[in-house]
Structure 1
Amino acid sequence: MDPDKTGRVSRDAIMAVFYILNEDFPEIRRLSKEEGNLIFGFLDKDGSSTITLEEFLEFGNVLLLEFTKESDYETLVERHFPQIFRSRSWQSLCMFVHSAIFEYCTDAVLVANAVIIAIQSYPELSGQDIAMDSHYKDGYIDTVWELMETIFTAVYILEIIVKVLVDGWKKYSESPRNVFDFSVTLLAVFATLYVYYPNAYSDSRLIRFIVMARVLRLTRLLFTYKAFEMVGIISVDIIPAASNVILILLFLMYFFSALGSLLYGGLITRDPDNPLSYILLEANDFVDNAYWANNFNDMVSGMNVLFNLLVVNNWTECEIGFEFVTGGKWVRFFFFFFHLFGVVVINNVVIAFIINAFFQQFKTVVDRQGWEEEVADEAIISGARARFRANTITGTNTGVIGGYIARVRPRHMDVELDERAALRKLFTRTSTNDESIAEK
């Protein structure tokens, strides 16, 4: 890469590296020509159009950047109807959709929907013997409940249309909450068409069951409290990073569940034809706690036993039933070793990792939600993203035109990555030592 031993690598050499990465390393995301030029601009901190060894050491960090064109976030109205987009009435609509009042209205509709569903479902949930209204299966909207279900579905469709028109599909689909709402509403629309279109199936209760999932969105009311919101955001950040230690715990549980099924499968039973069921009745602690479901008769039941041991931590009461049906005390070693390795060691490691990561990530999340910051006329950082003009980056002409948005994709297990600090560092230009370059 540096045949002349100048201590610098040319743009062409770096582009050749990107070509090799695209062709021979499928585990690394494919880079377009524009992305390659942008990454070179971030590497070339001094604007010399060459890369020094110190700059090249940032190669791995720069590859974490993901780029999106600002034009990809243009809405349908902005792109095809610019006059309407710039009108005062449209901008007022946009402000309303982005306001807290719009969210409050949406929450009010969800609460009303939940109340209606609760009223409809209460007789069935309470075990009352009620006769089904024949109108539910006639394929027509001829009851108050069916009418209200249809109105709620129409309101949810209107909400989606308004949000997509105001924010654009790309921005709308980046929100997991919006994706959930869209999926449930789409299912409700298909269910409505399926029920009311003339066919053999016309039970309108199907719509209610699907729309019930939408009511789960009421959990968002918890996140109106700042503390709950922070817990939710940080949990989303640290759970992927904790996946390795969680997988170790799951592997240990799978191993002990398989071993338990092999050694003790079928021993815990309530079958009156099986003499073990009468022996088990002598295990008072086991029977008094109704631990019949705590058995190793299959893998799922075994995982249930081990999960209970992790959370409840009462292996002495659980194992007494197995001790009676096996007729020996060797079963204690099985439960003791899982308690030692699963609860005392690995489970505590998982808990300690999550707690430590939570406090490490807390400050990062607070900073991420902070102010807009301009970095040396290069970019405007807001949250975990940076908006910048692509033609020049840290003094390097990239040959790329237009506005872009950069995000830092965290490395696996890197829970304490401060995206704002990382972006600030990448957009900060270092001074060029022109005299030293001239001497060379």
Structure 2
Amino acid sequence: MAQSDSSNRKNTRARVAVVAAGVVSPLGFRLTETLDSLRNSRNCISPVTRFSVGQCRCKTAGQVSDDRLLATQAEAPRSRRLHRASHMMIQALTELVAQEPHFEPELTVIGTTSGGMSYGEHYYRSLRQAGDLRHAATWIANYPAQKPVIDAQESFGISSPYQVIANACASGTNAIGHAFECVRSGRYQRVLAGGYDALSELVFTGFDSLQASTPEKCRPFDRHRTGMVLGEGAALLALENLDSAQRRGAPVLAEIIGYGISTDNFHITQPDPSGIGPRQAMERAVQSAHVAENEIDYINAHGTATLFNDAAEGKAINRLFNGVPVSSTKSMMGHSLGAAGAIEAVVCLLALQHQFLPPNINFRAADDDLDLNIVANESRPAVLRTVLSNSFGFGGTNASILMRRFKA
């Protein structure tokens, strides 16, 4: 009896390897610093220094040091004109290329939420205040969301087509998931994927005005959680057809095996309280990977520490999984919006490679309504084979990816 078309597609799907990665975030520059922060449960939140927060409830964020970020870049005038987001992307790509210099992407897919927002702020203020517009051309040229992608590609002579996904806080995970599907389908052999976002005053004060940010510590899933803390950064993954990677002797750091998305359309800033949106995304990722729920060894939760988001995600996890360890590393580095899913994919990659559970710091009291196995306050060793990473955003957009430890 002939197989159905869907069966044939399942049997011919390519396996997707992660052959290199690069990251810069409040946790540190490069994989080694990130790993050290995770293992040592380091709180990387600090008082905001980039702009005035005197009128805001929240006065802290996860920040990337400009002294270190700019010190790694060239002193050419062009480099000095680039947006901080471009420097973050270049830093992440520098690490990735150093690991795998022969990786030549056929496509680049990047997620972001705010692009070069702070340059837009400069331009607007100068117009409103009849200020100095000598730098207007630079601000306008570096404002668009695709500009940091272009800058990073130009720095390494990459000329592949690029796509930018702006889907709220799910953007980074959407980018990796789309890249995964591009490689798994067989259409592409190598795709560069990730996300970026840099702190800006407009975004910071916007979240504060919504009372989504906390004046206290970020406490995901805690009974007394009061909101999120923002962050920033960039992370990139080099995805390649596994057969292609092995033929050319490339290192395989992990596999991406599943991707799921959903939208609940409940409210612009709140998820459906039932958790149906997160549940559908996680279910679809598991189904995409052809694994069972009980095979998941760890969940890197979206976990923003807002009352409604954590409740909805917690309900969805309870419904699908039985006692799986859960943590939100946003407690350590803040919520980097479009970069969050990409940075947290790197966190999952490190967890698989080094066999440990990343911590959910600042956790004091369990929420009686959420029966979750929280990795409270300290990282701990664990046997991990398959891990799930969640990213959910305003408008009810949800995305989940599954990663698996690779064994030759």
Assess same fold via TM > 0.5.
Answer: no
* Structure showing greater relative contact order (alpha-carbon pairs closer than 8 Å, 6 or more residues apart): 2
TM-score, scaled relative to structure 2: 0.24
Higher share of residues assigned helix? 1
